Amino acid sequence: MDILASYNLIIEASLIIIISFFFSELSRKTNVPAVLMLILLGIGLRFGLDKLGMGYLDFFPVLEILGIVGLIMIVLEAALELELRKDKLVPIGKAMLIAILGLTLSVWIAAAILEYYVPGMTTRQAWIYATPLSILSSAIIIPSVTGLQSAKKEFHIYESTFSDILGIMLFYFLVGPYEKTGGGDSVGGFFGTLFLTILISVVASYLIVVIFQNIRSQVKLFLLIATLLLLYALGKLMHLSSLIIILIFGLLIANRGIFFQGKLTRFLHVEKAKDIYHGLHIVTLESSFVVRTFFFVIFGITISLASLADHNVVIISLLILASIYAIRWLLLRIFMGSNITPQWAIAPRGLITILLFYAIPGEAQVIAFEPGILLFVILFTGLIMTGAMIYDKRRHLRAMRVAQSVPVGYTRWEAPQVEKKSSLVQERTPPKGLE
């Protein structure tokens, strides 16, 4: 049977999407990230392809395209969730500060570990390899934190989004000299490019909203998505931080009341802009689900489990993992206080880590670096997050049961004593007729 025949591909793709849906539902109940299940599904499919003698298919071009589109959809989805209200400024600022410090410290320590253990790796190359390993995965975090308290959920959405943006900017700043872009090898060039990107993003976002709210056709949401993809690709060809374009547009359409003030209000049609926002919310949610599904399944097919048994891979990976959670615990303890469970453990690596790893220029690549380090860190950060989420869920369920069992008017510590005392009184009360 030819598994690459047209109808067979349709059947296979449909089954993967259906299985991914059940994984998502299972994830809601168990707190096991659906991404891990998808990777395991991909690994299982790899064994199946090997049995059929088709284990050498080149999935990289598909993986790269899915990664880029998925990245855009995920950042847009996150931006549509961000509300820029006055009461949100402190949480947003705190999340950004933690994201910046966490990213910088993680890259610094991971780079030192890689430079020490990987033969032939220079300091700049170590920083390039360390950056993907230090970026939080919003592709995993955002779908996984829906069951957390509102404040914790918002913190993770803000932090993971900022980590994505800043990490990608840092990565392309570091690889700039290898790509000969002319702007990545100096701090001045970096900030000049950043300012130009923000300026273009703001102008383009206003124009898109004004133009698309006046389009009468019912078929315009995917036209809008296509426009954003076009702007992103053109920005990358111009060596701009294109993800900022997606972020600013999402923030503008989600917070249109803030961005359209004064004379700009005459350009905003409130109801039409609201319809675009709600339509985009649905499209990005559905698109992210599909793209994320195929990306992680294909990633599971392409990885090699044999590298996990390498002694050097295990040592380097464990040291990087230890540094990730030590830094995270310290920062959260300083800025968030003592209530940092399960936040300290929610630090998965995923789509962006993989995407940036494959984007390392050939001139910057180090032959001695084992891709198994990437797989080890992705799998174990996901498993640690899973364990912490399950523990936190059980802790809340126990607290709810205790709260429900305490009578009204008593504290949880007084209630058992009162019940015990009342039972003793009943036992000592003589039966009627003996008084």
Residue 348 sits in a domain whose CATH number is 1.20.1530.20
**pLDDT tens digit sequence for 163-215:** 987 888 888 888 877 765 444 455 666 677 778 888 988 999 999 988 988 88
Helices 270-302 and 243-254, axial angle in degrees (round to 10): 140
Select the more confidently predicted residue: 105 or 27.
105
Residue 1 has a pLDDT of 54
Helix, strand, coil percent content, the chain, rounded in steps of 5:
80, 0, 20
Minimal CA–CA distance to 139: which of 367, 308, 381, 316? Answer: 381
Total structural domains within the chain: 1
In whole angstroms, give the CA distance from residue 353 to residue 427. Answer: 67
Residue 401 has pLDDT above 70, yes or no: yes
Q: Do the domain assignments include residue 291?
A: yes
Residue 64 has a pLDDT of 77
Residue 94 has a pLDDT of 92
Ranked by mean pLDDT, the top range of 42-56, 277-291, 400-414 is 277-291
Mean pLDDT of 248-277: 86
Please answer whether residues 374 and 354 qualify as being in contact, where contact means their C-beta atoms are separated by less than 8 angstroms: yes
Q: Coil, strand or helix: which one is 8? A: helix
Minimal CA–CA distance to 206: which of 194, 216, 198, 217? Answer: 198
In DSSP notation, 307-345 reads GGG-HHHHHHHHHHHHHHHHHHHHHHHHHH-S--TTGGG
Mean pLDDT of 249-256: 89
Minimal CA–CA distance to 172: which of 163, 161, 159, 185? Answer: 185
Residue 143: is the preceding peptide bond cis (ω within 30°)?
A: no
Q: Within 10 A of 271 (CB to CB), how many other CB atoms are there?
A: 8
Please answer whether residues 351 and 71 qualify as being in contact, where contact means their C-beta atoms are separated by less than 8 angstroms: yes
Side-chain half-sphere CA neighbours of 397 within 13 A: 8
Q: Which two tokens stand for residue 272?
A: 């039409």
Select the more confidently predicted residue: 286 or 421.
286
Q: Phi and psi dihedrals of 427, rounded to 5?
A: -70, -35
Side-chain half-sphere CA neighbours of 149 within 13 A: 9
Q: Coil, strand or helix: which one is 14? A: helix
Residue 434 has a pLDDT of 43
Residue 29 has a pLDDT of 79
pLDDT band at 424 (very low <50, low <70, confident <90, very high): very low
Report pTM: 0.80
Q: Do the domain assignments include residue 167?
A: yes
In whole angstroms, give the CA distance from residue 380 to residue 378. Answer: 6
**pLDDT tens digit sequence for 206-246:** 999 889 888 888 778 889 999 999 998 888 888 777 778 88
Q: Do the domain assignments include residue 187?
A: yes
Mean pLDDT of 398-402: 80
Using the Cα atoms of residue 11, residue 351, residue 194 and residue 247 in order, give the sign of their dihedral: positive
Residue 418 has a pLDDT of 46
In whole angstroms, give the CA distance from residue 120 to residue 140. Answer: 33
**pLDDT tens digit sequence for 115-146:** 999 999 999 999 999 999 999 988 788 777 87
Q: Do the domain assignments include residue 399?
A: yes
Using the Cα atoms of residue 13, residue 18, residue 19 and residue 21 in order, give the sign of their dihedral: positive
- For 306, the domain range is 58-406
Q: Do the domain assignments include residue 108?
A: yes
Q: Do the domain assignments include residue 296?
A: yes
Q: Do the domain assignments include residue 431?
A: no
Q: Do the domain assignments include residue 423?
A: no
Residue 406 has a pLDDT of 59
